[in-house]
Amino acid sequence: MVDGRRESMNPLSKRSLIVFTIVLIVVLLSTLIVYERVVRRVAAKDIVGVIDVRGYIIAEEDRDLYVKAVRLALENESVKAVVVRVDSGGGIAPFCEDVYLSLRKLAESKPMVVVIEGIAASGGFMIALASDYIYATPSSLVGNVGVIALAPVIVVPTEAILETGPYKYAAFSIREFPFTVRRILNNFLEIVEERRGEKLNVSITEVAEGKLYVGLRALELGLIDGIYSYPEAVARAAELAGVSRYEVVDLTRLVEESEPTNLGRSLWEGSKILSPQMLRRLSRSPMDVYLIPSFLINESELYGLRAWGFEESETPEINVTGRVVIDLSHKNAFFPLLMVEFLRRINANGVKFYLNTGNLTRILEMKPKSLVITTPYKEYTPSEVKAIREFVENGGKLLLMHDPGAYFPSYMNFISHEFGILFATGYLYNLDDNYGIYRNIPVRNFTRSELTKELREVVAFTCTAVYCHECEVLAITSNTTVLSILDVTGPHYFIVRKGDVLAIGDLTFLMDPFVVVADNSKLLDNIVEWLIED
């Protein structure tokens, strides 16, 4: 003030003050509205709360949405009962388990009813098991109990990165990983047994098969308690709570109003299937374990047909007479980096091997000692098949190994049928007698042969059956082993020989590190001796 009077307020400052006041009022009103809806509304009268478990549970915000809805129900006395609506294919294992455990705590405090509308598969079904009262609509899909796990990475050490222990980088042993997965599955099965108890009309072994059942069949098997619609489930929850006048409040929606982001729901509502890369990124764990049906994961990435890295190419002329030739010219499922022990033992017996990526017919004309063919991803021509047949007729030995985890047996059978041998489509599994998981098969029945000497047990890793007409059967699975697709229970042939042709329904059992499991190493010795003997 220059003349003793107050200066009038600057118009710009006055406008800023007005804007600030308006914003402050809006914020206060919004806070009061949220408080009114989330707290006072819940406290106003008897309420049946609804927790809507819909979509994937693959991110922290997915899990937190349901955990916070549970907390809201627990902390408000006006919530007399809760209905959990489930339409979910599950998600990342720890997140699903968190939601299940939170709901169990709620079910121990207040009446809680689950109604399945659409699907409750894998982790979605685990969540449903939190309640003593599980209902579903008639055609809803229920079950798919099981685990999908991505195996640990194979560590290639480098001097640029130093770690202090052999599992510091990968965190898990590849050889022991099936048993880790089995423990997670057993936990799931124990939850099913504990929660359904005497209501179950199906063996826990069948539950472990991972089947999905429609609601009506799930009721017959004791996986659910009745066929109810959502309104009937609400009425049932109110009845259990002993209330007749109540309001139904969607607790999940109240939580969403303050935290609207939900990845799992948005992907589900957009009918999106999941990619393994996204799941691995979201899990942020060295062990990627999912309680999700495989049909909700991109199969081309998860189980995709593998295009092997060896194309037919011209190679320098090498004399392969007397060598063991391993054919790689048809994108064969053979990994030199993981077959070092196989190659080493050939060399240890004073015989050289040759990895062929060139013209197979010309190579066979040089009269190698034996030929190894693993699952091809590319068809052999009629002239090549003829050359292979003539090679065997002239005293050469042929080892055929088909791995159903690599590709279909079509191209392999194009060769093997020339010798009266066929590899089955599908894979063998055993839910009770296995090495960690159902498709790692122990084989203990052997006939007497130089190829089976000193063998008591061999473990195959995703193998198939071998059919043979008038041949020598060397290894047979147990009579409880099942061939998928046909669902035929064994025993099944695993190793057969017909003259100078040896056929085996697996390849992985010879790979590092699986070659040291059980008597696999002894079987490898026997195979190598057979390949190199005159």
User: Quick one: fold of 44-301?
Assistant: 2-enoyl-CoA Hydratase; Chain A, domain 1 (3.90.226)
What is d(CA 473, CA 496) in angstroms, rounded to the nearest whole number? 4
Token couple for 266 = 């948005």
Q: Which residue type occupies 126?
A: M
pLDDT at residue number 71: 97
Cα separation, 377 vs 309, in Å, equals 10
Cross-strand bridge partners of residue 227 = 136
| Gap between the Cα atoms of 147 and 24, Å rounded | 51
Closest alpha carbon to 88 in 132, 129, 133: 129
Quote the crossing angle between the two packed helices 251-258 and 60-75, to the nearest 10°. 120
Question: What does the alpha-carbon distance between residue 266 and residue 233 come to, in Å, rounded to a whole number?
Answer: 26
CATH number belonging to domain 324-532: 3.40.50.880
**pLDDT at position 174:** 82
Burial of 170 (0-12, 13-18, 19+ CB in 10 A): middle
Tokens 């979910």 belong to 88
Hey, CA dihedral for 244, 250, 254, 255, is it positive or negative? positive
Q: Which residues contact 54 (CB under 8 A, 6 or more apart)?
A: 85, 86, 87, 88, 265, 268
Question: Tens of pLDDT along 343-398?
Answer: 999 999 999 999 999 999 999 999 999 999 999 999 999 999 999 999 999 999 99
Q: Which of 80, 194, 195, 184 shows the shortest CA–CA distance to 128?
A: 195
> Per this entry, what is the length of the chain?
534
- Residue 424's pLDDT is 96
Asked whether the beta carbons of 111 and 237 are under 8 A apart, the reply is yes
Q: Which two tokens stand for residue 8?
A: 């009038």
Q: According to CATH, where is 3.90.226.10 located in the chain? A: 44-301
* One-letter identity of residue 356: N
Calpha distance 465→493 (Å, rounded): 5
Going by C-alpha positions, the residue among 134, 66, 52 that lies closest to residue 102 is 66
Complete DSSP assignment for 457-520: -EEEES---EEESS-EEEEE--TT-EETTTTEES--EEEEEETTEEEES-SGGGSTTGGGSTTH
List, in sequence order, every beta strand (DSSP E) within 122-206: 133-136, 141-143, 148-150
pLDDT of residue 156: 67
Concatenated DSSP letters for 444-460?
Answer: -EE-SSTTSTT-S-EEE
What one-character DSSP code corresponds to residue 161? B
| Ranges of the chain whose pLDDT falls below 70 | 1-44, 155-156, 299-317
Every domain of the chain with CATH number 3.40.50.880 lies at 324-532
Which residue in this structure is represented by tokens 């049928």?
417
* β-bridge pairing 370-374 and 397-401: parallel
Give pLDDT tens digits for 506-520: 999 999 889 999 999
Q: How far apart are the first and last CA of the chain?
A: 116
Contact at 8 Å (CB) between 120 and 86?
yes
Q: Which residues share a beta bridge with 149?
A: 289
Dihedrals phi, psi of 83, to nearest 5 degrees = -110, 125
Distance CA 524, CA 511 (A): 10
Task: Give the pLDDT of residue 1.
Answer: 40
